[in-house]
Amino acid sequence: MLVEVAVAAAVRGTFTYRVPTELAREVSLGQRVAVPFGRSRRATGYVVGFPTAPTAGFELRDVVEVLDAEPPFTPKLVELIRWAEEYYLVPPGELLRAALPPGLNARGGEAGPERRGVEYAAPAPGAAEAVQRLARAPARRALLEYLLARGRIPVEELRAAFPRGRAALTGLARKGLVLLDQETPVARAGVLAGERVDAPVLAPSQAAALGELVPALGRFAPFLLHGITGSGKTEVYLNLIAAARAAGKGALVLVPEIALTPQLSGRFRARFGDDVALMHSGLSGAERHAEWTRLRRGGAHICVGVRSAIFAPVPDLAVIVVDEEHDPSFKQDDGPAYHARDLAVVRARIEDAVLVLGSATPSLETLENTTRGRYRRLTLPTRIDDRPLPEVHLVDLSRLRRGGHEVGPGLVSPELADALLTTLAAGQQSILFLNRRGYQTLVICEACGAEARCTECSVSLTHHARRGVLICHTCGHTERMSVACPACGGVRFGVGVGTEQVEEAVRAIAPAARVARLDRDAVGSADDTAALLARFARREIDVLVGTQMVTKGHDFPGVTLVGVVLADTALALPDFRAAERTFQLLTQVAGRAGRGAEAGRVLVQTFHPTTPAIACAATHDFAAFAADELAKRRRFGFPPFTRLLAVRIEGSEEGARRAAEALAHAARPLLSAELTMLGPAPAPIERIRGRSRWQLLFRASGPPALFRVHGALARVARRPPGGASVRFDMDPHAML
């Protein structure tokens, strides 16, 4: 008996092994096996097929051991991974290894106990008064504050928000500050049969969307659910999944980042109880392993997880939801490069499942697929309870400057400062968004003009004034900030505003306000983020200044003002998606305003008020933005009208250049009007961590021409001259 094995190593292709008679009965498709590979006596591999004849010219060796009692992958998952291997040009074994939770990659590993009911946590009466006494127990305090903000919630939501919070929760329960209770599976029986608990009445547009989705169950049917911010997309997902469960089927829900939106996992657990398995990085390897096994054995039928959960073994899969389908986090850039949203389409086809791509700002690829009739488009055009979208006002910074006015420290214009003070006076909350960390983004010598730059990367250093250091945001290199120029001894000054400077400006404008900052410098972990957002939800913070971390997640009913300090930060990047990304970020952050009883307003500061990405975000006009941007993409030949393949080369200065030239040389005979090559050229960031970076970008009307290029380059890429490393990236997102 022969098996085709994908070895968990950075090699393309698969290998044939012989199965000794004593193992023959244990081997099945999707099984993990130990095999001799190369010079190593033992490597992990995955059974992906049963060839009838050995590969000519290769020595046939024996499978050493079968590693699991039951295969972790279903035959349909093996089919999905084989498709991904071909399309993304990645080693199948690496993809399989990346798909499995870490606990399963280790040898052996037993599943944890099956769950018994949903555990809930709630703040005990009088817990609010106890918060102050917990000053010296920050972990417990943060967790209690979160519970005070959220009330009684499934413990899973706490786990998502506080990955390291288990000891704190136990401690609080022991002190009687938190009440834990268990809802048994028996009490949940009604839910599993599709009966809804605490389900709100559906708005007409939600009901209409479900009227299309539910009858489609049982076959491959892709939909775009285009719902504005606050329109209740999650309720549509929950109802569709309830219908699938009532028919005995399973569901998979992909979300961008669980740590920033822990409520979502809580909502699924509250509605479907033990039937939900969670897959995210806040869980330990053993816990993810246990969840994987629960799905595989049919102990759970709904999986909620991040990108890699696209490979989760959901039984009888009938519904796949990709929430915030436009989010860049669905694209994996390190390790095997794949796009979970695009794989969701493939998996839905393999499994005959209904696919729902949900977003307020659909990606232009998805939108174009609805135009071409590949996906059906459903819309939720209004907010829940008919709350209006916030009014957006553009503040033209260049006109302010031309008029001889100072914009103000921290780029806070007089208009934005006024709005902040008015909001504070009304006892309401504000969010200020700027997608740049640090105090000043550039430090220059006024005598010789030298910029502070990273020695290892071709980027300038950001001044972090509070720590008194210059930091490279690409590699993390840190050095002390000195005013004296290291080159000439002249005086250095900083330009370019970061969140730290905005925070300082807000404190100066409103000294009495309680101000906090949310970015990767201010909060070191998911736990810190959850604690800070809980304080904001409890209205212990008046103004929250932050990077794109503030654009996601929580509903804050107290927020009536959103200020975008500078909308233009991403526009100038050499990336054809820069405008799309800007529109998405502005729409998401504006969507944080006015979600409570009070109407919200948004001030967007910009030097480019007429740029469509900004002007259309201000009028909530997705259709106008998309039409303009699609016309540009068509004119300049970018996706969704073409397909791209990036080839990324890294190495020594000489090695990377030589490899890039050798690859380009191998590709040239294939080039035509239908297949073009950009480069070879140094990447926009030419050097990271001392390694030179080059790239080639191929463009064609469809994948087949790109596969032919890959075929022509593969031999050079395996042993590039100069010892460089070469990576292929199909449908690339990162352009820098």
Site residues for Zn ion per CB under 5 A? 445, 447-448, 450, 454, 456-457, 472, 474-475, 477, 485, 487-488, 490
DSSP secondary structure string for all residues of 714-733 = HHHHHS-GGG-EEEEEES--
Torsion of CA 152, 158, 159, 160, to 10 degrees: 120
Q: How far is the CB of 622 from Zn ion (least distance, A)?
A: 37
CB 303 within 8 A of CB 309: yes
C-alpha span between 314 and 83 (Å, rounded):
18
Please identify which residue in the block is written with the tokens 């190495």. Answer: 651
Q: How far is the CB of 451 from Zn ion (least distance, A)?
A: 10
Q: How far is the CB of 488 from Zn ion (least distance, A)?
A: 4
DSSP secondary structure string for all residues of 578-632 = HHHHHHHHHHHHHTTTT-SSS--EEEEEES-TTSHHHHHHHTT-HHHHHHHHHHH
Token pair listed for 202: 């559906």
Question: Closer to Zn ion at the Cβ: 371 or 482?
Answer: 482
Q: How far is the CB of 470 from Zn ion (least distance, A)?
A: 10
Q: What secondary structure letter does DSSP report for 183?
A: E
Token pair listed for 503: 């925070």
3 state SS for 104-145: HHCCCCCCCCCCCCEEEEEECCCHHHHHHHHCCCHHHHHHHH
Q: How far is the CB of 489 from Zn ion (least distance, A)?
A: 7
DSSP secondary structure string for all residues of 148-182 = HHH-SEEHHHHHHH-TT-HHHHHHHHHTTSEEEEE
Q: CA triplet 289, 323, 548: central angle to 5 degrees?
A: 100
Q: How far is the CB of 438 from Zn ion (least distance, A)?
A: 14
Question: Closer to Zn ion at the Cβ: 452 or 603?
Answer: 452
Question: Closer to Zn ion at the Cβ: 357 or 471?
Answer: 471
If we measure between CA atoms, which residue out of 213, 199, 548 comes closest to residue 357? 213
Question: Closer to Zn ion at the Cβ: 279 or 445?
Answer: 445
Q: How far is the CB of 446 from Zn ion (least distance, A)?
A: 8
Coil, strand, or helix at residue 682?
strand
Q: How far is the CB of 448 from Zn ion (least distance, A)?
A: 3
Name the residue type at position 125. Answer: P
C-alpha span between 507 and 304 (Å, rounded):
40
CB 668 within 8 A of CB 716: no
Question: Closer to Zn ion at the Cβ: 366 or 460?
Answer: 460
Q: How far is the CB of 439 from Zn ion (least distance, A)?
A: 18
Q: How far is the CB of 332 from Zn ion (least distance, A)?
A: 23
CB 520 within 8 A of CB 505: no
Question: Closer to Zn ion at the Cβ: 477 or 552?
Answer: 477
Distance of CA 398 to the CA centre of its chain: 34
C-alpha span between 611 and 310 (Å, rounded):
36
C-alpha span between 336 and 98 (Å, rounded):
8
Q: How far is the CB of 652 from Zn ion (least distance, A)?
A: 17
Name the residue type at position 98. Answer: A
Question: Closer to Zn ion at the Cβ: 449 or 711?
Answer: 449
Q: How far is the CB of 521 from Zn ion (least distance, A)?
A: 16
Neighbours of 661 (CB within 10 A): 17
Question: Closer to Zn ion at the Cβ: 595 or 687?
Answer: 687
Question: Closer to Zn ion at the Cβ: 475 or 714?
Answer: 475
Question: Closer to Zn ion at the Cβ: 1 or 487?
Answer: 487
